[in-house]
Amino acid sequence: MTIANNETTADDLWLTAVLRPAGVLSATAIDRLADEMTSVARTANIVVVNLVAATVPDVEALAAALKGPGSLLSGPDKCLLLVGADEELLAALDRVGGEIAAIETDPTPSDPDLALAA
């Protein structure tokens, strides 16, 4: 009888975390989100923050708060990905600097066949 070796090491594990805040991201909510992201960023390879259900009244504060987790997630096999970042937030992120990837709120495929699949 052969026994499969299913042992994994920390190098074999790929961890993706998804955070989806909802509602208004006030200063307190931004601080909480940044704290949670920092905790997750210490062990995850990719952290996806889906902002589609959130309202961000102070994009500068959010951009500044994302800088710390973003720096933890820059480098090989790491990424901070924002989903639903609007133009105003993207501009604020550019001003703050750092390596944060972002995609549109509702990317609509131009290929009609892809639109049907979505």
Sketch the domain layout of the chain as residue ranges.
16-105
Beta bridge partners of 54: 23
Alpha carbon 34 to chain centroid, angstroms: 11
Tokens of 107: 């990317």
Residue 23 — φ and ψ, nearest 5°?
95, -165
Report pLDDT for 12.
74
Report pLDDT for 118.
46
Count of CA atoms in the C-beta half-sphere (13 A) of 68: 15
* Strand-pair category, 16-19 with 46-50: parallel
Q: What is the DSSP letter of 109?
A: P
Q: Tell me yes or no: is domain 16-105 CATH 3.40.50.1820.
A: no
Alpha carbon 108 to chain centroid, angstroms: 20
Mean pLDDT in consecutive groups of 10 residues from the start of the chain, 118 residues: 53 88 96 95 94 95 95 92 93 89 68 51
Rg (CA), the chain: 17
pTM, rounded to two decimals: 0.77
Q: What is the DSSP letter of 62?
A: H
